[in-house]
Amino acid sequence: MRLLILGTGWMAQEHARRFGAIEGVEIVGAVDVDAARVGEYADAYKIPKRFTSLEAALDWGDFDAVANVTPDRIHHPTTMALVAAGKPVLCEKPLAENFRKANEMADAAEAAGIVNMVNLTYRNVAALQKARRMVQAGEIGTVRHVEASYLQSWLVSKFWGDWRTDPKWLWRLSRGHGSNGVLGDVGIHILDFASYGAALDIDHVFCRLRAFDKAPGNRIGEYDLDANDSFAMTLDFANGAFGVVHASRWATGHINELRLRIHGDKGGIEVVHNLDGSMLKACVGDNVENAKWEELDAGTVPTNYQRFVEAVKSGAQTEPTFRHAAGLQKVLDLAVVSDEKRAELRAIADTQ
């Protein structure tokens, strides 16, 4: 498979490493509006062709599929052009800035009949995949209650650098620089972690968002620090189950941790994923009576990158699709409105 990488920022390096390690994949071209950056990137990963516009790459056209690693606001126009050209696309998350654009991308990809995927990276966690299979097999009975959290501490810790002086972090705190805060940054990840793991669609959402004081006048240089730092939401799932989902950048002691607890009427499952790895625990069968939890071996699973390559080769669509990501974006959009109106809103989103 001949692959084009569109966008050559930080995440594009991960794409180059991941795709470059897959047998049969040749990265044949890279695109970035910054000529110097695309040149350095192409040299670093030994990519023969480099372009400063998508139009030039499409005019050349000698590639089978595309990894779209452009900034969020660029996903929609570039992906629509790629779909129109009949090119399969793996797009970084979030699929688009809002549900309307994400839905348009899903409609276009489905109408064109091309393979489309969104890189929801935590689908690569084997413990999450096994948890979902256990739920679907009925091992914990009917799901009644779901808890999910995504905790980071980069507003407290300098593990990834100092947000006060680094534009890489400052823009994530400023709505004027295109950020929708922690909700926009990791909300799609933890919603997918929860709804996919529990194998449930989201029916209703109620959300609260909060930006805390971080600097004098909540401003550093050109950055107004007004994007949300934490969110808490409650969900009604389609089967009647209740969900509690929250995320924060103020979670002292947690560098980057996702946690999911799924409680059914016959058992429970817990998934934890952080920088140390992943863990899967279950309380099922006779252990329910004395609340005994046992750690399980989740095995290994293919990555999104590997599954995208196989899908392109076979022509068979695989998850997570544009349609799935659009459903998650619908919930995220409604979460913002819910906070503004202090109201529960109906989502009816296909998120499982």
Q: How far apart are CA 194 and CA 205, in angstroms?
A: 13
Residue type, 125: V
Q: What is the pLDDT of residues 323-352, one digit of tens each?
A: 999 999 999 999 999 999 999 898 876 656
Residue-level pLDDT at 352:
62
* Beta carbons of 37 and 30 less than 8 angstroms apart: no
Close Cβ partners of 119 (under 8 Å, ≥ 6 residues apart) = 90, 91, 92, 93, 304
Q: How far apart are CA 199 and CA 105, in angstroms?
A: 24
**Cross-strand bridge partners of residue 294:** 282
Euclidean distance between CA atoms 185 and 148, whole angstroms: 16
Residue 273 pLDDT greater than 80, yes or no = yes
**Residue ranges of domains in the chain, CATH in brackets:** 2-121 (3.40.50.720), 122-301+321-349 (3.30.360.10)
Q: Which parts of 88-200 fold into alpha helices (H)? A: 99-112, 126-136, 167-170, 181-198
For the record, the structure tokens of 164 come out as: 């006060």
Q: What is the pLDDT of residue 350?
A: 60
Nearest 5°: phi and psi at 125? -85, 115
Tens digit of each residue's pLDDT (9 = 90 or more) over 100-154: 999 999 999 999 999 999 999 999 999 999 999 999 999 999 999 999 999 999 9
DSSP 1: -
DSSP designation for 157: -
- For the record, the structure tokens of 98 come out as 């809002």
Per-residue tokens: 30: 């890279």
User: What was the pLDDT predicted at 218?
Assistant: 97
Backbone angles phi, psi at 63, to 5 degrees: -150, 155
Q: Do 282 and 268 contact (CB within 8 A), yes or no?
A: yes
Which whole number is the average pLDDT over 248-266?
98
Helix axes 99-112, 75-84, angle to 10 degrees: 10
Q: Report the half-sphere exposure of 27 (CA within 13 A, side-chain side).
A: 26
- C-alpha angle 268/254/174, rounded to 5°? 115
Give the closest residue to 140 by CA, choosing from 350, 293, 349. 293
Specify the pLDDT at position 351.
59
In tens, the pLDDT along 5-51 reads 999 998 999 999 999 999 999 999 999 999 999 999 999 999 999 99
Q: Has residue 77 got a pLDDT over 80?
A: yes
Helix or strand (DSSP H, E) at 66: strand 65-68
pLDDT in tens, 176-235: 988 889 999 999 999 999 999 999 999 999 999 999 999 999 999 999 999 999 999 999
Which residue matches tokens 């979902």? 132
Question: Mean of the per-residue pLDDT values for the chain?
Answer: 96
Dist. CA 32–CA 70, nearest whole Å: 8
What pLDDT is attached to residue 72?
Answer: 87
pLDDT of residue 349: 60
**CA separation for the pair 352, 350 (Å, rounded):** 6
